[in-house]
Amino acid sequence: MKETKLMAKAPKPKVISVRMDAAFFFERAVQSMDRFHYDKALKYFRRAAEYEPDNPVNHCNTAGILSELGNYEESNRILKQVLEEIDPEMTECYFYMANNYANMENFESAERELIRYLEQDAEGHYLEEAEEMMEFLSTEMERPAKQVTIKSREGLNEHDKARSLLEEGKFAEAVRVLEQLISKHPEFMAARNNLALAYYYMGYFDKSTETIHQVLEMEPGNLHALCNMAIFYQNLEKHEPLQELVEVLKKTYPFHQEHVFKLATTMGILGEHETAYRHFRRLLKDSEAFADPSLHHYTAVAACNIGRFDDAARHWMQTQKLDSGSEIPRFFMSQLNEIRKDPSKRPLNYHYHLPFEEQFQLLEKSSKDGIPDHMKRDPLVRSSFFWALRHGDHETKLQVIQALGMLADSEVKDALRAFILEPDEDEYLKKVAIFVLRTIGLKEPIHAHLEGKPTVVHAMTFSPNLPVWEEQWQSVMELALTKMDRRYDMVQQHDLQTLWVEYLSRVYPNAPKIVKMEGWAAALEYLTAKMHRRTISYHEVASLYGASITTISKYVKLIDEACGIREKMEAIFHKFNEKL
């Protein structure tokens, strides 16, 4: 039998197909770059761009190789093409172009493109390099660099601005900045926390709480938010959730100084003075923090509130040494002496400012010479006024309105404008606030809620029974107010204006012809002083206004007969608490 040989078939050769696409040429280009074969890399990047002409990265890579080869003009042509035809959002192209122009020693063009990069690039990948290049260009051109708004730092810059506004007590303005910032950067937790504080300082509890809840939903362990929420719980008298949160905070031991300070002040406000004292002492171990007078004050308050009176005295003496021009340490040292005699007078407030009554007395004392700048800038002084304007009693609000008139800035105008729009606020208080707004320079029509309805109050003061306002009547009022300035407070000046309008309204259309303006003005001051139980004589106002006693007494009698001033004095005094 024929033997059959079994022969194995030779295997077919394997053919590996090469997929010639953009990724293939990109990999070849990178390999060539690693070997410093830039000519080959350029060829491969160009092929990649041919396969994917709408992919800006391939074109940018081509421009990058051209730049490495010194072909800066061709590199910039491609980069411009990317921006104009392929992807206008590829803002790093401006940075690459600036590099090319700098290498060409075309420094003006380099600066132009660099500014475009800084102003349009939101990510800031080349921010540090761009700032270094800007310094280099400034040196080469022998002039300062042009001012530029860095887009990638917009959020941080706006947040820094908002924090500065909070520190200056400009809470309404800070709210506007922070609300805009959060709308653009919703996950900016620090901005949300500061917005909650701004609302809180202005007395908007609901908005504060809502904002903090938003932070804690996004970041449950946020220490600033937890501390703020604890304070809000305390103000809202939510005792059970407050106690749970306090227990958590007492066990918290942060290491970052900012967090330690936040926790310390929060625990002090919550009455956990032992914990507060421990954290404040931790902070004082830092040499820079040791030079802060307010930190010694906080430590002193905590020490005083736990009965460590000698420690408290030592820290307030250090506060006095570091802040020698301030009334605050002297005031609290006097309080410490009282507490040593009667410990039941504890606890003291942690805020580094005088209590409201002392602040107002200082404002009154300094109003003749102008308000000290440090009081105008102190955010806690200002916040106490804005807080009291919303939550104080009638007399306190009246004091606050006058104090705000002494501060007299845009923040004050915003606060008073909001106050006079409140339907439930006292009518008299709103009219005093309107007078203050006029006194501090607001000339345009003022929107208010008066007599149960929205009202526009114009520059001149009218009443329903006084359809016209004569120039001579205005002159009498202005003369009286000018003479009374710095001798009478704003409430008293307001009441003089109200008295004059009431008199003219009652006698209209038979208002007397104003012959002796000084006599009428003197009569108005005399009656206003009497309404406020101030010591005054006819001789005094006659000398001040240059009018005869006979003329003044005659006009006093006419106004009294029309308005019944003497009969209403006691009722007015008790009803409105006008005497401070």
Question: What tens digit of pLDDT does each residue of 462-517 get?
Answer: 455 566 778 888 888 889 888 887 788 777 888 888 888 888 888 888 888 888 89
Nearby residues of 96 by Cβ (< 8 Å), 6 or more positions away: 60, 63, 64, 67, 75, 79
CB atoms inside a 10 Å sphere around CB 18: 6
E strand or H helix at 449: strand 446-450
Pairwise CA distance, residues 332 & 296, whole Å: 12
E strand or H helix at 311: helix 309-322
Give every residue of the chain whose pLDDT is below 50, as ranges: 1-18, 354-362, 366-370, 462, 572-580
Residue 388: CA count within 13 A, CB half-sphere: 23
How many residues belong to the chain? 580
Residue 3 has what pLDDT? 42
Residue 294 has what pLDDT? 87
Task: Specify the CATH number for 159-345; select among 1.25.40.10, 2.60.220.30, 1.10.3430.10, 3.20.20.140.
Answer: 1.25.40.10
Residue 311 has what pLDDT? 94
Q: Could you give the 3-state DSSP secondary structure of residue 516?
A: coil
Query: How does pLDDT run across 390-434, given as a tens digit for each residue?
Result: 767 777 777 777 777 777 677 778 888 888 888 888 888 888 887
Residue 467 preceded by cis peptide, ω within 30: no
Q: Could you give the 3-state DSSP secondary structure of residue 453?
A: strand
Is 471-576 assigned to CATH 3.30.230.10?
A: no
Residue 11: CA count within 13 A, CB half-sphere: 3
Query: At how many degrees (to 10) do helices 394-407 and 427-439 cross?
Result: 10
Long-range contacts of 254-259 (CB under 8 A, 24+ apart): 254/223, 257/283, 257/286, 257/289, 259/223, 259/224
Pairwise CA distance, residues 377 & 166, whole Å: 10
Residue 281 has what pLDDT? 93
The first and second tokens of residue 284, run together, are 């004082």
Pairwise CA distance, residues 466 & 114, whole Å: 66
- The ranges of the chain annotated as CATH 1.10.472.10 are 471-576
Residue 296 has what pLDDT? 92
Query: At how many degrees (to 10) do helices 565-576 and 517-531 cross?
Result: 50
Span 22-153: which CATH code?
1.25.40.10
Strand pairing class (446-450; 453-457): antiparallel
The first and second tokens of residue 240, run together, are 């059970």
* Nearest CA among 389, 390, 404, 392 for reference residue 439: 404
Residue 5 has what pLDDT? 41
Cα→Cα distances 63→22, 73, 92, 94, 507, Å: 16, 10, 12, 12, 88
- The ranges of the chain annotated as CATH 1.25.40.10 are 22-153, 159-345
Place of tokens 């122009």: 101
The first and second tokens of residue 561, run together, are 């007969």
